[in-house]
Amino acid sequence: METDKTTLTDLSIFDAAEDFSVFAKFDLTRTTGGRDVLKYLYTHSLKTIEEIRDTQAILKLFIDNQQEWPLSISNGSIMMIYKFYETAVDQIPSTPSGTSAFYYKLFHGPDFGLVKYSASHAFDFLKGMHSIIKLFEKQHVPAPLAKILAKAEKNMAKPNLQIVIKREKFVDLSTGEMLAFAAFIRYHYKQLFYELLHLYFQMDAWYGMAMAVKEFKLVFPEFIESSEPVLKAKGLYHSLITEPVPYDVELNNEKNFIFLTGANMAGKSTFIKAVGGAVFLAHIGMGVPAAELKISLFDGLLSNINVIDNVVKGESYFFNEVRRIKDTVLKVMDKRKWLILIDELFKGTNIQDAMKCSTVVIQGLIKVKHSLFILSTHLYEISDDLKPYQNIDFKYFETGINGDDLKFSYQLKEGVSNDRFGYLILKNEKVTDLLDDI
């Protein structure tokens, strides 16, 4: 599924500081290398339903076998393996006798200490990889995982590594056996060891995704083979909200455009981001924050939410809004299935201009039947001109008022809202009092 950096930022998939993002919340990998692979997976959505289903199956398999997953492989161990290859040490005897092993320990004390410590971490890593291979040996595994396991097994099928399989713990090795093991992995196994590490990083990325699905009670979406775009969700919510209110939403070929209205803070932006976030996660094979999600494969996901001006280029906010809409129109003209998310069209111009521009854009976009659209706006007045179009679904978030207090239900309802509470919010925040005191 095609997307871009702006969309990933709009949907909080990534955050500049990475402390408040979907990626940061769902990153439960155990290693830095696994995290790097996970980030790659987040930026390279899967292209076919088969790939997505394979990934879902792998995550389910990892969840089912969580108790057997080898925790002996740690990020610290992997760091020590890299350090072992990158640090100069005196030549390690490849076939040490008892005497030569003793002399190496005696006359190369500092190097011996590093070699022994590094070899212990390498032993633990290889032991863990062997456990993973044995864990899935008699289970039916999806093709992507089977390929990795087969390659890992081939890489480990070296006579010099049989000691890892035969001995339960590293401390069971004699000094001579330890030095022979260390010499082999340093002088004859470096490239294969690096390949083995990267194979593990891929599995660690899947493991982190699987643990996130389990910990946050995500559900795997059902992908529908369809030539037309379909999105049907029950109990959908935003994964970064502490106490979210779930939504039910449906978009299809007959109703492919949601015209969303509601007051400030009523929940429009959160809803749009919740839908976009779920569709994004579905296309990388993850579970989604919903009770149920049925979805077709999308070719692209594009948002128009947090447009900014560009002082350096001398581009105004409105100009960049127009540029983003132009890009959107060009995308949906390619006849592929897109999900387009637009939050507040044309905030950078006056209300009359915004109404005219918004109406023109919407009347153009609703002619596109092969994509789905969600558009929020404060300009409820333009809804009258749009009501003749049968494929528009009018939704709103209701805001109640009790005296000077606003009550937000965050419930998605049928119809159009004409709520305007900007002045009341200004008053409740004591801004009017401050102005009176000037």
**Structural domain boundaries in the chain:** 31-215, 222-436
Task: Return averaged pLDDT per consecutive 10 residues of the chain, 438 residues in all.
Answer: 93 80 96 98 96 98 95 93 96 91 90 96 97 94 97 96 94 95 97 98 98 98 96 97 94 96 87 97 98 98 77 60 91 93 85 90 94 93 93 91 75 85 65 73
pLDDT of 422 reads 61
Count H helices, E strands: the chain?
A: 17, 10
CA distance linking residue 102 with residue 249, whole number of Å: 72
Q: Domain 222-436 class?
A: alpha beta
pLDDT of 314 reads 38
The answer to whether the CB of 25 falls within 8 A of the CB of 240 is yes
Burial of 95-127, coded b for 16+ CB within 10 Å and e otherwise, reads ebeeeebeebbeebeebbebbbebbbbbbbbbb
Task: Tell me if the pTM is above 0.95.
Answer: no
Burial of 251-289, coded b for 16+ CB within 10 Å and e otherwise, reads bbeeebbbbbbbbeebbbbbbbbbbbbbbbbbbbbbbbb
Q: Give the angle subtended at the CA of 206 by the CAs of 205 and 209, to the nearest 5°.
A: 90
- Kindly report the three-state secondary structure assignment for every residue of 169-219: CHHHCCHHHHHHHHHHHHHCCHHHHHHHHHHHHHHHHHHHHHHHHHHCCCE
The answer to whether the CB of 363 falls within 8 A of the CB of 397 is no
pLDDT of 312 reads 35
CA distance linking residue 34 with residue 46, whole number of Å: 18
Q: What is the DSSP letter of 34?
A: H
The answer to whether the CB of 305 falls within 8 A of the CB of 343 is yes
Residue with tokens 């995982």: 145
The answer to whether the CB of 351 falls within 8 A of the CB of 422 is no
Contacts of residue 399, Cβ cutoff 8 Å, sequence gap at least 6: 262, 263, 265, 266, 406, 407, 408, 409, 417, 419, 421
Helix (H) or strand (E) holding 163: helix 162-166
CATH of domain 31-215: 1.10.1420
Within a 13 Å sphere around the CA of 156, how many CA atoms are in the beta-carbon half? 26
At 61, list the tokens.
């398999």
pLDDT of 437 reads 75
pLDDT of 311 reads 37
At 370, list the tokens.
């092969």
